[in-house]
Structure 1
Amino acid sequence: MRAQAAIDQAADEIVGLFENRVPEQKTPGSFFAVFGPDGIVLERGYGEKVLGDETAPDRDTVFRIASCTKSFTCTMLLMLRDRGQLNLDAPITDFVPAFRSLSPEVAPATPSVRMLMTMSAGFPTDNPWGDRMEEMTRVELDEFVSTGIRYSSTPGTRFEYSNLGYALLSEVIAEVTGRNYVDVVAAEILEPLGLTSTRFDEDPDADIAIGYRLANGAWQAQPFTAPGVFSAMGGLFSTATDLVRWSLWLAGALDPGDTSDGPLSVASRRELQQIQRAVPANLSKVAEFAEPTAHGYGYGLFVDEGTTKIVSHSGGYPGFSAHMRWHAPTGLGIVALENGTFAASSIPATHALQAALNSYGELTTPAPAWPETVAARDIFDSLIRNGDTASAEAVAAVNLALDAPYVERIAAIATAIANVGPLTTAALTEVPRELSDTPAVTNWTIEGERGRIRCHILMSPELPPRVQTFAVTTENH
C-alpha cells in the first residue's frame, strides 16, 4: 500500500517526464510501467507502435529490449555454476579454443568467464559495432576471434562495456550444455518463469512495435535481425508485462524474507545484483542522488549502492531503447520501452523512479540489534552504574580484558562520571540506530547532573556473540 501511495503522489511528475517524448521526436512511441512489489501501479503509452496505425503501445506490446538481455545470459551462467557444470574463473579458451589475443605482450592474461560477465575482459567498448553483429554464426565467431582480438586494457583490471564479451559467453553456454544458447535460455529461464511474450525472434502474430531511426526530421523503419551468437548481448524481444515480472523476480531476492522459487536460487539472484566490478566515475551515467553512491557492474546488471540500493540495465539497439530499474528496499521500480534509435529511455525512467522514491519517505530502516547485543548493553550499563565487573566479564570476548584491563576501564568510567556529575536514576536512553549500524552494534546514553555518558558496544562473530568493544565518552549539557 505504501508503494501505491508513493506512486500515486508522484504520478503527475512521472507522467510529465514521458508525455512529451513523442512530440519532441525522441521516439515514435513510448510506454512506461511503474511497479511496486505486487505489480504494475502506473502505466501510460504514447505515440504509435507502428507509424500510421495511430495505436499507442501498451503493456503487452513487444519491443526489442536489447542489452537488458545480459541479465538473462548471466542468470543462465550462474545456473550452470550452481549445478557444478561451470567454473566462472575458467579461461575463455576452454570453451572457444580459437580465441587468442592479438598482442599477448600487452595483455598477458586470458580473459575468464567471470571477466566477460563483469565487463572486465580488456576489450574496447563496442556498442555501435556490436549492435550490427547479432546474426554472426558460431563458425563466423570462431573465424573472427582466431585472427586475434585487440585489447584496450589488461584483462581483469578495469571496467569497459563489451558486447563481444557476451557473444563469447553465448559460446560458453552452448559448449557446456551442448545446445544452442537461444534454445537453452528459452527452455531453462523463459518457460519456467512464464515469460510467454519474451523470445529471441520476431513473432509475426505478436503485437510488435516497429523500430525507427530519425533521419532529416523523418522516421525511417529499421529491419529486425535474426538470432545469432551476439543474441546473448541483446537479442531478446519482450513486453512491459514480462519485463516487470522479470524485474520483480530478481528484486525479490534482495528481500531477506524472500522465499520465491524459480530456475536460479535466491542466493545466486542476490549475487547477480552485487557490485563485482567498479565503474569509474567518468563512465557513470546515474541520477543525482542525495548521498555519495558506489556505481558498478554485477552480473549483467548495473548496481548503485550507498545507504540504499538501485539495480538497473538499459538496452539500446537500432530502432529501440529499453530500461528496467528497481529499488531493492521498497520494491519500487520502472520499465520503459521506446521504438526510437538513441531514444535514451533510461533518462526519464531514472528520474521517474526517483520521483516515486522521493514521495515514499524513509527508504530504509536500520537493522535491529541482536537480542544478545541488547542483553550485553544492559549488563555493561550496570558495569558503569554499579561497577559489576563479574557480570561484564561473563559476556566479554577474550580480547576485551587483554586490550584494556578492567582496572583501567573502571578508572575511565570514574573519570567520565566525574565529568558529567553524579549519575541520575533515569533509565538509559537508546541512541537512535543509523543505517550503518549492524545488529552487532548498539549505543546508549546515561544521564548525569551536568551531562551524559555515551556508551558503545560491538559484539564478536562468535556464537553466542560476546562483547569485543566497549567504549565511553562524555557529552556536556
Structure 2
Amino acid sequence: MLGRDVSAVDRRRRRDAGRSLGGGCRVIGARMALLLSCGLALGSACASAPPATNFVEIETKIERVVADEGVPSMAVAVARDGRILWEAAFGMANKEAGLAATPHTPYSLASISKPITATGLMILVERALVDLDRPINEYLGDAKVTGRAGPAREATMRRVANHTSGLPLHYQFFYADEPYRRPPMDETIRRYANLVTAPGERFQYSNLGYGLIDYVIARRSGMSYAEFTRAEVFEPLGMSHSAVGVPPGLEDQQAVRYAPDGTPIPFYDFDHRGGSAVYASAHDLIRFAMFHLGDDVRGQRAVISEASRQVMQRPTAEMSPKAAYGIGWGTDKCATGAVLVGHNGGMGGVSTSLTMVPEHDLAVAVLANSSSRWPGVITKDVLNALLPGCAEESENDDDSAPATDLQPLQGTWRGTLAAYTGDLPFSITIRDDTVIAALGDAAPTPVDNVTFRNRFFTGRFPGTIGTPDVERRDYRLQLDLKLRGDVLNGSVIALSTPGERVGNALTHWAELKRPL
C-alpha cells in the first residue's frame, strides 16, 4: 500500500507516541503495507469485463471482505502495458439508496489528492508561473509562512511538495452538521504555518503544505483550485468522474463515506483541500496512473512533459532506508527490487491505494468507502499475482528501540507556547526519568510515553491551549521538541482523542530554555 493518511497518523500517534513525530513515517505504508447501473446485491461485483484468471481468487476475497468485514464497497482497477486488464466493483456505494458500486463510482481519495495536486503544480512550473526552488512565501498573499526553527526563505516549493520544508503535522476537519466552517486560507496560514523544524532538516508529512500548494495554484493560475484541476488535469486526461469535492452532477452516484458502525458520515471539508479533497473513480484513477507511467492512452492529452513526470517520481526526501518521497509521489521497493511509486489515503470513511511499478508498466488502484486495511491488502495480492514475490513482507527498516536516556535534558526548561490567541507560559521539568509539564495556569502534570532519540524529545500530557480551534474536540498534547544546545523547540500538537469521528491535529510552536 502506497501513501500516507490521517487514520494512519492517529494509529501511529497512539501506538508510537514516544517516537519523533513524522521523523520516520512511511509514506509507502506497511511495506506495500462504464457508469454502470448494476443493481446488484451487497457483495456482488460489477466489472467491465470478466476478470483474468490471475484475479479470480482476488475477486473472491474482495466479495468475502465486503460481505463479512464491514466494508460497504470496494472498486479496483489494474493496468499493464498501456491497457486496462481488470476493472471491478463490489458492494454498495450508497447502502441507504441501494446504489451498487461500479468502476465509475466517484470515491473520496484522501491523500491520493496529493499527486493530483502536484501534477497541477508541475503544469504551472512548465508555464514558468512557479519555480520549485523559490520560497513559497513569494507566491502567497498577505499571510506568510513563519520561520520559527529556520529561515522561511528556505521553505521552497520543492521542499513543501516533498514534506521537508519544516511545516508541521496538520489536519483539520469541518463537518457539515457542526457549526464550524473552513476559515480563509490566509487565516489558516497565520495560525499554523510555522516552520517547526529547519527546512531540509527532516521529513515531516504535512497536509498543510499541500493546502498551501492548492492556494498557490489558485493565486498563480487565476482560477480556483477546483476549476484549475478540472480544466487542466481531469478533462485532458479523460477523468470524467473526478473533481475536487464531489463531482458536480454526480452527487447521487458518489460512494458515501461510512463510519465503523456502518452509519453514513456527514460530509466534511478541510483547510488542506490540495492534500485531501479530491474524488475520483477507480477507472479515472487508473487512467491518471497510466499517464504518469507514460502510456499512450486513447482520449488523453499530455498535461505535463515526461521530464516533469520524472521529476515528480524522483525521490528527494528520505523517510527510511528504503522509502522516500518526491513531488506528490512516494517511492519504495518490491521485495524483488522493483521500484514502486504511488500514494495511499485514509481518513473517516476512506481507505485508498494507488501503486505503480514503472519498470513493469503496471498500476493498481483500490478504493473503499470505509476506513480499513483492505485496499492495501488487495494491492499486495494484485502485485503478487502479476509480479510473484513483489509484495512479500520485508524486515522492518526501523530496528532500533526508542531511546529513553534523559540525562542530556535534566533540569527545568522554561519558555512559551505560541497559540494564535496569544502566548502561554510553558515549562518542563525533568528529574531522572520523571517529566512534569506545566502549561498556562494549569497545575503541573506528568508527561508519559517519553522518549529522547536523535535529539528529539517526545511525550504526551493533558493540557489546555484554549483556542476555539483546539477546544472543538477532546485532545491531548503531544510533544515533539528538538534539543539545540540549551534550547528545546519545536511542536506541541493538540491531537484529538479517538472518537466517533476523525478529529484534528493542530500544531503549535514552543520554545524553552534551560538556565545556565
TM-score (norm 2): 0.58
Residue 99 of structure 1: aligned partner: 144
Residue 258 of structure 2: aligned partner: 212
Query: Which residue type is aligned with residue 188 of structure 1?
Result: E
Q: Measure the CA separation in 1 of the matches of 2:222 and 2:271.
A: 14
Q: Measure the CA separation in 1 of the matches of 2:320 and 2:173.
A: 24
Which of the two has higher C-alpha Rg?
A: 1
Q: How does 1:387-466 map to 2 (within 5 A)?
A: none
Contact 1:81 1:88 in 2 (8 A): yes
1:132 Cα deviation from its structure 2 partner: 4.5
1:324 Cα deviation from its structure 2 partner: 1.1
More helix by share: 1
Q: How does 1:230-309 map to 2 (within 5 A)?
A: 230-252=272-294, 261-280=301-320, 294-305=322-333, 307-309=337-339
Contact 2:175 2:266 in 1 (8 A): no
Pair 1:314-2:344 in alignment: yes
Residue 134 of structure 2: aligned partner: 90
Contact 1:314 1:323 in 2 (8 A): yes
Contact 2:161 2:328 in 1 (8 A): yes
Q: Which has the higher contact order (CA 8 A, sep 6+)?
A: 2
Residue 368 of structure 1: aligned partner: none
Pair 1:337-2:381 in alignment: no
Pair 1:188-2:218 in alignment: no
Pair 1:67-2:117 in alignment: no
Q: Measure the CA separation in 2 of the matches of 1:230 and 1:176.
A: 17
Contact 1:30 1:46 in 2 (8 A): yes
Residue 451 of structure 1: aligned partner: none
- Name the stretch that deviates more: 109-118 or 10-19: 10-19
Equivalent residue for 1:225, pick from 268, 275, 279? 268
Percentage identity across aligned positions? Answer: 26
Q: Measure the CA separation in 2 of the matches of 1:302 and 1:11.
A: 26
Q: Give CA-to-partner distance per residue, 1:193-227, whole Å, 9 cap, x none.
A: 2211111232354522111011xxx311012235x
Query: Which residue type is aligned with residue 277 of structure 2?
Result: G
Query: Which residue type is aligned with residue 347 of structure 2?
Result: Y
Contact 1:301 1:313 in 2 (8 A): yes
Query: Which residue type is aligned with residue 341 of structure 1?
Result: S
Pair 1:48-2:76 in alignment: no
Superposed CA RMSD in Å reads 2.8
Question: Mind listing any 5+ residue stretches in structure 1 that lack a counterpart?
Answer: 1-6, 282-293, 361-477
Aligned length: 328
Q: Measure the CA separation in 2 of the matches of 1:295 and 1:199.
A: 29
Aligned to 1:48, what secondary structure does the other structure show? strand
Residue 452 of structure 2: aligned partner: none
Equivalent residue for 1:163, pick from 202, 207, 210? 207
Q: Give CA-to-partner distance per residue, 1:104-158, whole Å, 9 cap, x none.
A: 2x333442111110011223333xx345499976x62212322454444222221
Residues 278, 344 of structure 1: alpha-carbon distance in 2 compared, 3 angstrom cutoff: farther
Q: Measure the CA separation in 2 of the matches of 1:148 and 1:333.
A: 36
Equivalent residue for 2:385, pick from 355, 361, 373? 355
More strand by share: 2
Residues 54, 40 of structure 1: alpha-carbon distance in 2 compared, 3 angstrom cutoff: farther
Equivalent residue for 2:355, pick from 304, 325, 337? 325
1:249 Cα deviation from its structure 2 partner: 0.6
Question: Mind listing any 5+ residue stretches in structure 2 that lack a counterpart?
Answer: 1-50, 391-516
Aligned to 1:220, what secondary structure does the other structure show? coil
Q: Measure the CA separation in 2 of the matches of 1:219 and 1:167.
A: 30
Query: Which residue type is aligned with residue 328 of structure 1?
Result: P
Q: Measure the CA separation in 1 of the matches of 2:356 and 2:131.
A: 29
Aligned to 1:21, what secondary structure does the other structure show? helix
